[in-house]
């Protein structure tokens, strides 16, 4: 495959400049002015468009058995909807049940993804129990390039682990040079608050947020940071949702704790009033940590622009309306999650760059480059450089549209962003040199995605 992309403005590694990009095979082979097309090359005119490195989503759930049901995506559906939204690599949370052996979970998840994902992918290895066999499997998987673990401080009795296990995971990660990613909510406090609210007859989705308040997440964040500090590991807080939790994470960073911070697009753009809608309309917006008071958002956006917050992910986790009805009788049974993989880049561009809260350079950094650097994918991914994989997004900032489940490609029957306006859209998306999206449609090769060892 030879592609010449002409006249676009490249935005990568903190810089922007007009240049042509030549792609030969799966990599970028030249960047320069007035490049001429080799024989047989496909030429794409990117005048008036940006050329971004393919975006990376560091936090998605594709296959997920959770709360008695399964998230709706397959690796085929999730990867295509990701690509249409400009995401060319995703990192999935492998999350076996605590009763399952990690080795079995790995084989199951890896087998489902293999040959089915249209874009490249890798995994955070979920540690949902601790024993000698789990430790041995973690050592083997890290040796095979699975260089990040995932722990849940929340979800008592499901994915959650106790402090003893958390300490062992962090210690092992420090030894192996593996990043520990963590869902930071104090599981015991959540369980107590849930029972208290239910016993008071407070059963609707509007009680989900009060059952896991900001302070509970702030405590979880400080707690995790302490374990990272004590073991000398490298930690990464996933889906941080509010200013108090941010303060806890930044306090740790000030002490020299190696901690990176992720926010997710629902927390930047939606708020708790959505989950306060009655019945299933509110249940559509139940995720954990919950959508918060809108007052948190200016702080999150400012910290994102300054780089105090490192990355923007989705926590993509689609459950359909029928599944959301599982929680009709009590909010604790609503499957947690909101789909967002197709919308992250356009929402971040619109409500960040276009609305003046985020520079174009930082937008690319937070949604691609920084993620690649943290998780060992850079400079293969996350940059427009000679020698890097030709994962490119030709982005049309002139596009104006509205998000709707009716036109979205996600394998779900509602969108959490229904009716939300967007100011830009990927026009062409390439994966390792192949055009995978053109004019908003998937035109790539199903199942071509590769497992990325890091």
Binding site for Zn ion (CB under 5 A): 183, 315
Do the Cβ atoms of 311 and 366 come closer than 8 Å? yes
Picked from ligand URP, Zn ion, none, the partner binding residue 173 (CB below 5 to 8 A depending on kind) is: none
- Which candidate, 261, 429, 285, 443, places its Cα nearest to that of 345? 429
Taking CB under 6 A as the criterion, which residues in 79-118 touch ligand URP?
none
Give the tokens for residue 412: 């779900």
Under the binding rule (CB under 6 A), the answer on residue 181 touching ligand URP is no
> Strand locations in 350-432, DSSP E?
392-396, 401-402, 421-422, 425-431
Q: How far apart are CA 12 and CA 17, in angstroms?
A: 9
Among 173, 225, 317, 393, binds ligand URP (CB under 6 A): 317
DSSP assignment of 283-342 equals HTT--SSPP--GGGHHHHHHHHHHTSS-EEE--B----HHHHGGGSS-GGGSPP-B--TT
Alpha-carbon torsion 103, 380, 450, 62, what sign? Answer: positive
Q: How far is the CB of 33 from ligand URP (least distance, A)?
A: 45
User: By C-beta, is 183 or 272 nearer to ligand URP?
Assistant: 183
Picked from ligand URP, Zn ion, none, the partner binding residue 212 (CB below 5 to 8 A depending on kind) is: none
Under the binding rule (CB under 6 A), the answer on residue 315 touching ligand URP is yes
User: By C-beta, is 238 or 358 nearer to Zn ion?
Assistant: 238
Picked from ligand URP, Zn ion, none, the partner binding residue 287 (CB below 5 to 8 A depending on kind) is: ligand URP
Q: How far apart are CA 435 and CA 43, in angstroms?
A: 12
Q: Residue by residue, what is the 3-state secondary structure of 214-248?
A: HHHHHHHHHHHHHHHHHHCCEEEECCCCCHHHHHH
Q: How far is the CB of 79 from Zn ion (least distance, A)?
A: 17
Picked from ligand URP, Zn ion, none, the partner binding residue 337 (CB below 5 to 8 A depending on kind) is: ligand URP
User: By C-beta, is 315 or 434 nearer to ligand URP?
Assistant: 315
User: By C-beta, is 338 or 377 nearer to ligand URP?
Assistant: 338
User: By C-beta, is 33 or 322 nearer to ligand URP?
Assistant: 322
Among 6, 72, 75, 183, binds ligand URP (CB under 6 A): 183
Binding residues for ligand URP (CB under 6 A): 61, 183, 287-288, 315, 317, 336-337
């Amino acid at each position: 495959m030879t592609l010449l992309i002409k006249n676009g403005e490249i935005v990568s590694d903190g810089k922007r400049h007009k240049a042509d990009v030549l792609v030969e095979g799966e990599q970028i082979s030249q960047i320069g002015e007035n490049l001429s097309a080799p024989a047989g090359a496909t030429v794409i005119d990117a005048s008036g468009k940006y050329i971004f490195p393919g975006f990376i989503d560091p936090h998605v759930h594709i296959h997920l058995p959770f709360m008695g049901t399964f998230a709706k995506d397959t690796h085929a559906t999730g990867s295509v909807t990701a690509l249409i939204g400009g995401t060319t690599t995703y990192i999935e949370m492998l999350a076996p049940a605590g009763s399952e052996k990690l080795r079995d979970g790995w084989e199951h998840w890896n087998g489902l993804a293999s040959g089915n994902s249209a874009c490249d992918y890798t995994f955070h290895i979920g540690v949902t129990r601790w024993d000698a066999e789990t430790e041995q499997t973690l050592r083997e998987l890290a040796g095979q390039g699975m260089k990040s673990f995932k722990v849940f401080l929340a979800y008592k009795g499901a994915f959650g682990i106790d402090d003893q296990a958390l300490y062992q995971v962090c210690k092992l990660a420090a030894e192996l040079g593996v990043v520990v990613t963590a869902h930071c909510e104090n599981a015991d406090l959540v369980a107590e608050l849930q029972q208290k609210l239910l016993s008071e007859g407070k059963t609707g989705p509007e009680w989900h947020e009060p059952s896991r308040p900001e302070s509970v997440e702030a405590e979880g964040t400080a707690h995790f940071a302490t374990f990272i500090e004590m073991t000398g590991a490298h930690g990464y807080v996933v889906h941080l949702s509010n200013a108090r939790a941010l303060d806890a994470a930044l306090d740790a960073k000030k002490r020299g704790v190696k901690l990176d911070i992720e926010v997710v697009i629902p927390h930047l753009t939606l708020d708790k009033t959505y989950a306060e809608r009655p019945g299933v309309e509110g249940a559509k917006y139940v995720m954990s940590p919950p959508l918060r008071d809108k007052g948190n958002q200016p702080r999150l956006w400012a910290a994102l622009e300054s780089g105090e917050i490192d990355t923007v992910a989705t926590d993509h986790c689609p459950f359909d309306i029928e599944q959301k009805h599982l929680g009709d009788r009590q909010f604790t049974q609503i499957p947690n999650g909101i789909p967002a993989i197709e919308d992250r880049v356009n929402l971040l561009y619109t409500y960040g760059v276009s609305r003046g809260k985020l520079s174009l350079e930082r937008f690319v950094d937070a949604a691609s480059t920084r993620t690649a650097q943290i998780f060992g994918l850079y400079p293969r991914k996350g940059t427009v450089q000679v020698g890097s994989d030709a994962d490119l997004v030709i982005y049309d900032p002139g596009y104006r549209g509205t998000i709707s489940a009716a036109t979205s490609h996600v394998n779900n029957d509602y969108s959490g962003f229904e009716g939300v306006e967007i100011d830009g859209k990927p026009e062409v998306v390439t994966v390792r040199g192949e055009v995978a999206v053109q004019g908003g449609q998937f035109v790539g090769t199903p199942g071509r995605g590769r497992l990325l060892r890091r």
